[in-house]
Amino acid sequence: MSNNSRFSNLIRKEDWLSVWIGAIVIIVCSVAVLTGWFDVSALSFKTWTVGEALSDKDAAKVVPLMEQLGSWGFWVRCFKTIIALGLLFGIGVKLQGEKLRNFIPAFLMLFVIAVVVRMVSAEFTLKRYLEWAFWALLIGLVIANTVGVPKWLKPAIRTEFYIKTGLVIFGFSVLFSNIAKFGLYGLGIAWGVTPIVIIFMWWFGNKVLKITNKPLLITLSAATSVCGTSAAIATGAASGAKKEDLSVAISISIIFTILMMVFEPMIIEWTGMGQIMGGALIGGTVDSTGAVVLAGSALGPEAEQVASLVKMIQNILIGFIAFFVAIFFARKVDKSGKSEVGASEIWHRFPKFILGFMIASIIASIVFVPVFGAEKTSAVNKALGQYKDWAFVLAFTSIGLDTNFKKIAKSMQGGKVLWLYIIGQTFNIILTFAVVWLLLSGKIFPQPDIKTFTDKEEKIKAKKEMAAPVQQPAEPAVDFVEAGKAVENAQASSGN
């Protein structure tokens, strides 16, 4: 590959562009928080109600919706958010060769839908039971499967681009020490289970279901066991899958990702599995990386980090799997007897946004915490979290808008591929749970101690309280007149 081609990839490929956009957001938010020169807070909705009877504690957290919408600050933050996101993603789309005049109006409309999602999900009762990601998917699905998605809106539907960028930003909140602590556990869960699931699904599809479309079979196997869309695209390209095959694999993966993202955290919480084991199970079984982070966050901050670490370690396999699939299909399936695939294919298929995630984590843990302290780093994370959430809202709204149930139903091919996914994912969940229990239950191996920036903040607060001088209670003032009278009375009493 020539130097010009390498440079072109750095500024024109979606994976790399997500890294650069994430880096820009991290830098700008860090400068704003550390210097106080300007405000970068993004648009967000406070909890509101439609008239529920609330306790005093809950009522204190509620801000009426009309009061929020009538605030000048609300519209200033709205304007800043849409300009920042529209500008960054607009430049990214332009560098990928798309036309801005098509992207800008589409993005504005997508942002409006995303604002409605955030508003609905902030309602008190809805917020208690379901995360905003569910409402993003639901509203997108309702639009796509009723009135339909207009052609002019489609240039803004870029699910992978938004998710990858959000994950790079999220990397800043993951302590690198957690990556080091959890590395071997994550390798055991992600790398131990994934190849077995792929081999099982390949065998089951071939021998039991008799699926003749081999590229579709291996593409769906990879999507199920690794990371949904990203793995499907890489493996589909390596196996020579047709566009229709790729569409089927991605569609099935998306449907079950939605279901698992919503219900798996509920089931885990009901069983009392705990955040570390629950997060690891989510990371190893939910297909989409963005959905993994959101499903983990529904359990708690530790589960969010564990889930994302397992999925990131699993994602590293994408390049290797695509590489070996290409060789396997060239030598065995297509029976050409040779393969033109080089070792560079691993790097070509490797998801570059993982590098951005790792570097952001290292910088936050090794540079920011020692230099600026955990409290300042946590404040930066708070600002970054708003933009990470917006990237994910755009992504999950896009998933909903891009999912048409009628088209999916037509592409099921008699139901065999659907059964392949259901059986394969069931096997994946059972095997992953077994490995998670083996490694993380604490029965055999010690459970890793996962920390968050919140933990560090609490420790610093506790240390400050311990270091503060203990104030002695003030001695009561002595009334000398009354004291004198008491002495005289005592003497008189003793004289008598």
**Segment 195-220, tens digit of pLDDT:** 999 999 999 999 998 888 888 898 89
Residue 299 in domain: yes
Report the greatest alpha carbon distance in the chain.
Answer: 125
pLDDT for 411: 60
Residue 291 in domain? yes
| Full residue range of the structural domain in which residue 192 is found | 3-46+67-462
**Total residue length of the chain:** 496
Secondary structure of 302-355 in HEC code, one letter for each residue: HHHHHHHHHHHHHHCHHHHHHHHHHHHHHHHHCCCCCCCCCCHHHHHHCCCHHH
Task: Answer positive or negative: Cα dihedral of 452, 458, 460, 462.
Answer: negative
Check if the beta carbon of residue 329 is closer than 8 Å to that of residue 205. Answer: no
What average pLDDT does the chain have? Answer: 82
Q: Which residues contact 463 (CB under 8 A, 6 or more apart)?
A: none
Would residue 305 count as lying in a domain?
Answer: yes
> Is 488 part of any domain?
no
DSSP reduced 3-state for 341? coil
CA distances from 204 to 208, 235, 414, 416 (A): 5, 18, 16, 11
CA distances for 134 relative to 131, 247, 261, angstroms: 6, 22, 8
Structurally, the chain folds into a number of domains equal to 1
Higher pLDDT, 232 or 94: 94
Give residue 413's pLDDT band: very low, low, confident or very high (50, 70, 90).
Answer: low
Residue 495 located in a structural domain: no
- SS3 for 48? strand
Strand partners, 48: 123
What is residue 447's predicted lDDT score, i.e. its pLDDT? 78
With a cut of 80, say whether residue 124 has pLDDT above it: yes
Does 478 fall in a domain?
A: no
Q: Is 262 helix (H, G, I), strand (E, B) or coil?
A: helix
pLDDT of amino acid 157: 93
* 61 within a domain of the structure (yes/no): no
- Give the confidence band of 80 by pLDDT, cuts at 50, 70, 90: very high
